Chain A
């Protein structure tokens, strides 16, 4: 597939890694912001390819993970109503609330449907006039244009049996929260490529400048991630801290203007709770008042639902890049995708779930031999100070 296959090329990957070795003189801690990037990293085993001392920590960029428990409970309360057809992206179906997931509501007779595109909800609403269709509108900025279009069309076409349960979050406030946290280790970011395809990347300039941190807007294929990592390391080594665009085939500085316009018409910015992190000021979208007729939170009596997060889970620290899944004693034992305790295990995109799905809870003895069958080119002239303790002792090496 064009624009995918060529970005999975092992030759080029090796060249980029060799270049990393050439420029790197000391250890660096980078964060990939997006869950999709985390997924790609573990799926392709990219972290095994990186030079010693380049550490990727996983960011908060999984909308499913950061949707707060109380919002999930609200969704479940609505989905249980016999008059409702509850529509959701597939990812949200397995996310447990206080009492089961959407699958279990389905197993009890609730009408829960997976949609691929938000526009499918319009069709479902038109086909089921006697029912009320609720769409669980979650996501980061990437998904906002699609969800905004659904609200917009519902109002324009007066599809009055359709509403949205909105739980939309924004990336820049989350980065700000990570950088401002005490104990922050992150020295550079692989920025969210698809979020910036919509929003552009000028809003990252002040963050980069204020915290003196490089932000390289990066794509999702293996080559993209390796190149983004290289660009970030180069900035760090050269003492620069700016916003750069690795993903220039997809996005420009100003982003998608028509999409931004409709988002502005449909959504207003306000405070949002993030699962595992807590409330972040001005970090999410809400439907504007003009769309009250289509706002499920106003149509259904769910305002009183408030749920506390579990205490033992360290997902908040994982989401902020302070810890790795392995640092959690519950990881892979008490906390599994079957039985998630917190945000980062609930969705396939979450750092813990991605680690689990790609076997990082297991310790493949002898797996290191795989890398020793034919050693790659070694450069002796670059001395990289070994870290005292490797982060990934459980992973395949």
Chain B
């Protein structure tokens, strides 16, 4: 990485040559010369990066599905395969830490295909100077999280980078799981009529992290909802049903929140969705924090929630099954899939109006106006 100052100079020269008056810019191939934080937000900028940089290079039928995991059939065995990198500041936060997040994040991505997660790898990038005590705490937390999820960590790697070249600790986990049932769960299986079930309160994780940011601190018992969802998914799949494929789609609404996740599903399956704002559960703490900072909980990250698209005749039974489970206690039906306005998510607002929920644009920023 070149020194910041050199970089600034380079940019100035580039800018000096290519700067056009603000109004006359053509539609760019890729909007940014450099990566900005928004490219990691899970919103439109991230989608741009994937569509314009990664997909063209790696395109294949499995990747093209853009599910949270790849489902591969190897000698008759159906495997789910997924990877995820974790960067979070601070590394310890109320309700979890980067280690717990790293285990459950990948477990959840696997579980969203209906798979039983089995084995994980973990790769650590450590910044020179990281306290060994902190690393031990993270590792201990990962051990606990793996036990909770019923997975084993079977291989790993460690690298150390110079001080200032990382942010204490980055973790990448990769996992595999087996899809036992004769089921196929994917974003493009969503069908008109499906009920949209949300497993509980939204925005807890994102607002917990936000509350730890410098200058935005607030007091209040907001805790990350970080949790392994494979148990809840098993419970849902165990719902007594005449057919196997009553759950069409499962997604965990992490970055970008519920609104972004539902938009992704709507676009993949080319269906519309209609939500009822009043049914969407938001804690008073999260609501208060969102009001103060001018954020919308529908776009705030979750780490222990799932969205399920379930055939209408089974929705009630699946909901009951979820409510028996610790992580699905507050599950609700928040809307349904419709034929109209394909690719779009509409919401009836609390007051009685209608609003279109679009994909989040970039990083959620506190606003003053």
Contacts and interface: CB of A to CB of B under 8 A. Distances in A.
Contacts of A96: 22
A10 B351 contact: yes
Contacts of B24: 310, 312
A49 B353 contact: yes
A359 B31 contact: no
B353 A367 contact: no
B367 A349 contact: yes
B346 A337 contact: no
Interface in A326-372: 334, 337-339, 341-342, 347-349, 356-360, 362, 364-367, 369-371
Interface string B266-304: 000000101000000000100110010100100000000
Contact of B352 (A10, A116, A342): A10
A310 B21 contact: yes
Nearest to B366: A90
Contact of A366 (B25, B213, B339): B339
A322 B35 CA distance: 38
Contacts, number: 193
A104 B34 contact: yes
Contacts of A347: 369
B209 to A, nearest CB: 14
Given A4-B291, A69-B22, A366-B339, A357 B358 contact: yes
Given A103-B37, A366-B340, A143 B368 contact: yes
A104 B340 contact: no
A1 B355 contact: no
Contacts of B216: 114, 116
Interface in A18-76: 35-36, 42-49, 62-64, 69
B326 interface: no
Interface residues of B, number: 61
A67 to B, nearest CB: 11
Contacts of A63: 368-369
The number of chain A residues touching the other chain, given as a range, is 35 or more
Given A93-B365, A109-B8, A115-B215, A358 B355 contact: yes
Contacts of A358: 355-356, 358
A222 interface: yes
A14 interface: yes
A91 B346 contact: no
B368 A113 contact: no
A45 B340 contact: no
A339 B20 CA distance: 14
B169 interface: no
Given A44-B349, A91-B369, A1 B287 contact: yes
The winner among A334, A348, A359 for most chain B CB atoms within 10 A is A359
A212 interface: no
Nearest to B358: A359
B157 interface: no
A91 B355 contact: no
A334 B23 CA distance: 10
Interface string B1-15: 000110110010001
Interface in B64-91: none
Contact of B354 (A45, A82, A108, A223): A45
Contacts of A317: none
Contacts of A109: 4-5, 7-8
A221 to B, nearest CB: 9
B6 to A, nearest CB: 9
B356 A360 contact: yes
A370 B352 contact: no
Nearest to A353: B361
B28 interface: yes
Contacts of B367: 89-91, 348-349
Interface in B326-369: 338-341, 344, 346, 348-358, 361-362, 365-369
Contacts of B15: 99-100
A359 B21 CA distance: 28
Contacts of B368: 63, 89-91, 139, 143
A308 B216 CA distance: 35
Contacts of A100: 15
Nearest to B347: A45
A67 B358 CA distance: 27
B19 interface: yes
B55 interface: no
B53 interface: no
Nearest to A360: B356
Contact of A114 (B33, B44, B215, B348): B215
Given A69-B22, A338-B44, A364 B365 contact: no
B214 interface: yes
Given A35-B369, A36-B369, A370 B348 contact: yes
A120 interface: yes
Contact of A357 (B4, B354, B361): B361
Contacts of A99: 15, 19
A13 interface: yes
B27 interface: yes
B50 interface: no
Interface of A: 1, 4, 8-10, 13-14, 35-36, 42-49, 62-64, 69, 80, 82, 89-91, 93-94, 96, 98-100, 103-104, 106-110, 113-117, 120, 139, 143, 222-223, 307-313, 334, 337-339, 341-342, 347-349, 356-360, 362, 364-367, 369-371, 396
Given A49-B353, A107-B35, A359-B355, 13 more contacts: A43-B296, A45-B354, A64-B369, A69-B22, A89-B367, A91-B365, A104-B32, A108-B4, A110-B4, A312-B24, A339-B31, A359-B344, A370-B274
16 contacts: A44-B355, A80-B8, A90-B293, A107-B34, A108-B8, A110-B4, A116-B215, A222-B350, A223-B351, A307-B22, A308-B21, A338-B48, A338-B362, A339-B27, A370-B354, A371-B354
Interface of B: 4-5, 7-8, 11, 15, 19, 21-25, 27-28, 31-38, 44-45, 48, 213-216, 272, 274, 284, 287-288, 291, 293, 296, 338-341, 344, 346, 348-358, 361-362, 365-369
